[in-house]
Every structure is written in C-alpha cells, then in structure tokens.
Amino acid sequence: MPVFFVCAGLLGLLAAALTVNVGIMRGRKKINLGDGGDPEMIAAIRAHANLIEFAPLCLLLIYMASDFYGFWTTAALSALFLLARVLHAGGMLGVIPQGRFLGATGTTLVLSVTSIMLVITGFNLRQY
C-alpha cells in the first residue's frame, strides 16, 4: 500500500505543477479567463483538466481493489497510472513526443483493468 500513497501524492504534486503552469501562462499571455483561442493555453488547460478528470476515479478504484488484490497489483496499477498521467501531461505540453497517446492509452488500460477487477470481485462477494 505504501506505493499507492506515494503515487497518489505525486499525482497531487503533478496537479499542483499543472495548475501553476496554467497560472504562469495566463500571466505571460495576458489571458485572464478562458483560453483566449491560444493553442498553447488550450493545451495547458486541457493537460490540467484531463488529470483532474481521471485521477480521482482511478485512484478510488485502485484503492478499493487493494483490499482484494494485494500489494503487487496495487503497486503496479498505481505506478502505471502515475507514469501514464506524467506521459499524458508531457505530451499535451509538447515535452514528450507521443506522450499524449501513450498516457491516454495507459490511463484507459488502468481504468478498464481496475474496473473489471472490481466487477469480478463484486460477483464473488457474499452478502449475509
């Protein structure tokens, strides 16, 4: 479980860094609200927003699955999700070639696999 918490914390720091990036870019480009139609601003906003859209759900699902699938599965899912989100953000910001594709693919994989694991777990649980 410690790997999950480290990855969750690092994702929080990534969210903070992407927030600061948007703020700095707003100041530099003098865009107070919205994206101003600027492609670089749009990419920065979407890099941040996409993380915020996926991180809570994926982290919650991984955390729920950790009760049933143990340390190594939780650690692998957490690390893969962190890597995927870093790749995606880097790709959106033009820092990592193919990062957006690889990150989106990794995120979708983690979301799908973890969801399937929980569905299987749900069918195997007994209520008394």
* pLDDT beyond 90 at 15: yes
Question: Average pLDDT in the 35-47 region?
Answer: 93
Q: 59 and 114 in contact (C-beta within 8 Å)?
A: no
Question: Average pLDDT in the 55-75 region?
Answer: 96
- Say which residue the tokens 């690889």 belong to: 102
pLDDT, residue 128, reads 73
109 — pLDDT class (breaks 50, 70, 90): very high
- Say which residue the tokens 């999700």 belong to: 81
Q: Which fold has domain 2-124?
A: Four Helix Bundle (Hemerythrin (Met), subunit A) (1.20.120)
Question: Average pLDDT in the 19-39 region?
Answer: 92
pLDDT, residue 1, reads 66
Question: Average pLDDT in the 29-39 region?
Answer: 90
pLDDT, residue 119, reads 97
Domain boundaries in the chain?
A: 2-124
3 — pLDDT class (breaks 50, 70, 90): very high
pLDDT, residue 99, reads 96
By 3-state DSSP, what share of the chain in percent is helix, strand and coil, each rounded to 5?
A: 85, 0, 15
